[in-house]
Structure 1
Amino acid sequence: MGIERDGETGSVAIGHKQYIDGLLRDYGMEDCKPNATPLEVGYQNLCVLEDCPRANQKQYQSLMGTLLYLAMTTRPDIVHCVAKLAQKCSDPHKEHEVAAKRVLRYLRGTSSLKLHFDRTGVPVYCFVDADWAGDCSDRKSFSGWAFFLAGAAFSWESKKQSIIALSSTEAEYVALSTAAKEAAYVLKLISEMGFETAPTLMIYSDNQSAQCLAKNASFHARSKHIDIKCSN
């Protein structure tokens, strides 16, 4: 699988440095200038003009498959941008190819990053977020969450929501509900592995309106549409 493992007493670190170096060589980018971020801030170029040149579909799909493997195994820092770019595998344009190569430039400067797991004594916790109407083609939002244990992330996801959120509160609330379902699975899995766990775990969100909505089970005029859409 190409995963590198370093370990000391009571700790372990996993990464993909050699795999990333080989990927950069395959695309002739082993000496490229690194980028500080995997995707431009506020990147919205998922919709392109009809006259925009198309990229080679097979090459783009191959690159996306490689990046998705990295994103799902040891590189949660690229999972959101790769999830966005993978949406265009059926019809990639030069705009998307340029963005994908920016991810490679980011990996060029961060190839040595690893997930470090150590004994911290801190129970499982989760961060969750959403970008409201992040896809300009259909105005659907992306949900993202990451679960942490032993000082590093061990479960993460970035996925387009199935509904069109009419507000940032709704987008964040849907993301919270997705993270809550994963939390139930994580707690059960850890328990079945023989580890003691708390009955609940902390889920952190930066949207106060969504937090209030999650705490108050009653739906009012401004939020009942969420219940209707999510129940169907």
Structure 2
Amino acid sequence: MSNAKPVATPMVSVPTLSSLTGTKLSDGTLSVNICILHSSHNEHWCAVKRILRYVKSTTDFGLKFQPSAITLTSLSDTDWASSLKDKKSTSCYCVYLGANLVGWSSKEWTVVSHSTTKAEY
């Protein structure tokens, strides 16, 4: 991938990856995380290659810490039933100290939420 053409975004917004579509790969060790959970498909491998092309375009990126007011801000969001396979939700949060990002997390729930209210709570 060292000669691959860089891209500006890590993934396309649609279609969502699923273990239910595409052609199954013979070598399931080719992809990682959301791109591969238990069942590798050609679409997952294409997504991994796109992520690597994005990483290639961001090698000079970094976190910029700038002087700002000492305020702690936290933002969170939940995507209800976003997994096509098992309808589990995904939650994420970001924590800022002033204008500087100091922490973040994103994870898929281990249980299925039956309403948007329950997912957001």
TM norm structure 2:
0.82
How far 1:101 sits from its partner (Å)?
Answer: 1.2
Q: Which residue pairs with 1:97 in the alignment?
A: 45
The alignment yields a C-alpha RMSD, in angstroms, of 2.2
Separation in 1, partners of 2:29, 2:34: 18
Separation in 2, partners of 1:55, 1:147: 41
How far 1:146 sits from its partner (Å)?
Answer: 1.1
Q: Which residue pairs with 1:184 in the alignment?
A: none
Aligned length: 121
- Residue number among 12, 30, 35 corresponding to 2:7 in the alignment: 35
Separation in 2, partners of 1:35, 1:126: 30
What are the Cα deviations for residues 51-95 of structure 1, in whole angstroms up to 9, with x where unaligned?
7231523343xxx3xxxxxxxxxxxxxxxxxx5235x1x432221
Name structure 1 gaps, 5 residues minimum. 1-28, 65-82, 174-232
SS at match of 1:34: coil
Pairing 1:56–2:27 present: yes
Equivalent pair of 2:17/2:35 in contact (CA under 8 Å): no
What are the Cα deviations for residues 88-144 of structure 1, in whole angstroms up to 9, with x where unaligned?
1x4322211111111112112222211112321231111111112111110001001
SS at match of 1:31: coil
TM norm structure 1:
0.46
Q: Which residue pairs with 1:85 in the alignment?
A: 35
Identity, in percent, stands at: 29
Greater helix share, structure number? 1
Q: Which moved more, 1:125-134 or 1:164-173?
A: 164-173
Structure showing greater Rg = 1
Separation in 2, partners of 1:124, 1:149: 5
SS at match of 1:111: coil
